[in-house]
Each structure stands twice: as C-alpha cells, then as structure tokens.
Amino acid sequence: MAASIIKKQIPLSPPFLKGENKPAPRAIGVFDSGVGGLTVLRHIRQMLPNERLIYVADSGHVPYGDKPAHYIEQRSLSLAHFLIEQGADAIVIACNTATAAAATSLRSRYGIPIIGMEPAVKPAVAASKSGVVGVLATVGTLESARFAALLEKYAGDVEIVTQGCPGLVEQIELGELSSTQTRELIERYTSPLLARGADTLILGCTHYPFLIPLIRDAVGESIALVDTGAAVARQLQRRIQTELPERYAGDASVQFFTSGNEAHATRIMSMLWGRTVEAKLLPPAFL
C-alpha cells in the first residue's frame, strides 16, 4: 500500500495536554524490516531512558535485502505514516537497506527529524591497520547508490571487500542465534573477508549485532567489529534536543508492532529485548 503524503511540521508553540499545564510528551518512532532494529532501539533506550518509543518490525515483508528499491520505499512510507499516526515526532529508520531506498523520500514528505542508518565506513577505515575492511550486509545495501557514495567519500586508499549475506536475517527472525546453520553461514561469509586480509568488519545490517558472539567465534578477538547503533542514538539525541525542545521526554514506555505473526513476534522480541513484551499486529491498512 502506498502511504498518503503527510507533511508533519513541528509546532511553533508547545502543544498542551487537555487539562494540564505542561507540554505534550515526545514520541520516537523506529522501524526495521524485522527485529534487527531492536539493536538500535536498545542504544536509544540507554541514551534516552525517558522517551516514549514505538517500534515496528515489518516481519511480514522481511527480508528487505532481496526486494526492489521501490517496494522498500513504499513499505517505508507506509510504516512512517503509521508511526506518525501513533504520535511519533521523530523517526529512526533502523535498517540500512530501507535507509538507502527511502530516506530521501521520507525526508521530502515529513517535516520531522528522520534519522537513517548507513554502514560505518568512515570509522572502520580509521580503525583498520591492515588497510583492508570487510563489509557484511544485505545485497540491497551493497548495491545501493548511497553505499557507493560512502565508499567514494571515505574509503581512500583502504581496500573495501564486500560480502552479501543471504539467509542471516532470516535466521535471526527465527530466533536462531546459535544454531549450527547460523554458525555455518557466518563462517561462509566471513572466511573470504579474512582471506583478503581484513582486520575490521562492518556489520552493515542492524540484525547482525545479535550474532556478535558467533562472529567472534569465527573471526577471533583481533578483528574489530563496527556497527552504527550507538552513533544513530547520539544523532537522534542531538536532533530532538535542537528541533523538539518544547516537548518533554515522555513516559518511558515502549510499544511494539509487527506486520507478521503476533505470537511469533512476541516470543522473538521478548527474547531479543531481554524482557517480556507484547507485539501487536499493525492495522490492516499497513500490512
């Protein structure tokens, strides 16, 4: 479904709750192709403990990595529309592939802070001593114009070796964080990067930090692993402080939604979030 175009502007004066002499609370919307964005949500919660958070896992359409850019763009527009309807004053695209496909469209349509993800090429290049950096990511991210621009801007003399990782996102969506199949996939995808001399690996998908223990087993302790979750949380903090100063932080609640199976999403999200949560099904118009 194509989302309606809404240009939500930041109010010039503080909105007040009915019967209360204080501004309305902020809400931060976060979405991903599935549960991977919970790695970003965790950083956001640590940095902004009092914010109201709304998370959407588009697990009914996961993975994004093998889908056309226009499909991902329309899904992203629809999910952003839903989050704004729920009261989101800022949106984090907690997905590298969705950022590449839809960040420009979202920013042109919605007058609120839109924070995206991108593979951490700049810090990885700075960290590498061997001059070879490996990138683990979805095919959609690796083939995007945004990723090509990152390489052109930051790679310099460092060799960037990329590796698409079909199947890894699906394993994480199933909660298979330590299975033999997941371990075999990681070994298959990291081996070529190590063989090329990479001493730094970029985790170019928000799902992959859930697999750091297995990745460590495969590559050893000497290989630097880089992801961008903490940097995105810091950018969100800066944006809401400068662009939403009239709003107070909120009630520290977290709501979870899914476009997939509610029972499965509740089980997997509870496991990954580290406490029991309830994942609600998105309304039919957004499925």
Active-site amino acid positions: 95, 205
Which DSSP state fits 5?
P
User: What contacts 15, CB < 8 A, 6 or more positions away?
Assistant: 23, 24
Place of tokens 């692993």: 225
Query: Residues in the chain with pLDDT < 50?
Result: 1-21
Look at residue 116 in the predicted model and tell me its pLDDT.
97
Rounded CA separation 257/86 (Å): 11
CATH class of residue range 121-227: alpha beta
Q: Where are the domains of the chain?
A: 27-117+230-286, 121-227
Look at residue 26 in the predicted model and tell me its pLDDT.
85
Rounded CA separation 114/108 (Å): 10
Same topology, domains 27-117+230-286 and 121-227? Answer is yes
Look at residue 244 in the predicted model and tell me its pLDDT.
85
Rounded CA separation 163/137 (Å): 6
Cis amide linkage into residue 63, ω under 30° from 0: yes
How high is the mean pLDDT of the chain? 91
Indicate the CATH number of 27-117+230-286 among 3.40.50.1860, 1.10.1750.10, 3.40.190.10, 2.160.10.10. Answer: 3.40.50.1860
Burial class (CB in 10 A: 0-12, 13-18, 19+), 59: buried
